[in-house]
Amino acid sequence: MLSHHQRNLQVMMLSHDLQRLADRFLPDPNAARFLVHETLIDAFAAPSDARPMAARGRDLRRAMIARLRASRSPSRRPGHQQRR
């Protein structure tokens, strides 16, 4: 059995590798980040931590809204960057 520190280190290494793999396959970095996050939550969450998909989606929407409100720059769709 791994110690708490070794287990955390192993999770960090696996999540880093999973993020690199997701970045290669998904063009949208936010989608890749969300996929890795949900995969890690599903893999390592205790049964008592399990939440229905609607609750996870609601939390994600709230976090994204809060981040957009805190942002100082106006949001733009990825396909419509400013022309130089």
* Choice between 20 and 65, residue whose per-residue pLDDT is larger: 20
pLDDT tens digits, 36-49:
888 887 777 656 55
Nearest to 44 by CA among 73, 64, 14, 68: 14
The residues near 32 (Cβ < 8 Å, ≥ 6 apart) are: 19, 22, 23, 25, 26
In a domain, 83, yes or no: no
Please, what is the end-to-end C-alpha distance for the chain in angstroms?
56
In a domain, 84, yes or no: no
Q: Given this model, what pLDDT does residue 49 score?
A: 58
Predicted confidence band of residue 77 (pLDDT cuts 50, 70, 90): low
Number of structural domains (the chain) is 1
Quote the domain boundaries for residue 10: 4-67
Q: Given this model, what pLDDT does residue 81 score?
A: 52
Nearest to 40 by CA among 20, 11, 67, 64: 11
In a domain, 81, yes or no: no
In a domain, 56, yes or no: yes
In a domain, 12, yes or no: yes
The residues near 75 (Cβ < 8 Å, ≥ 6 apart) are: 68
Do 46 and 20 meet the contact criterion of CB atoms below 8 Å apart? Answer: no
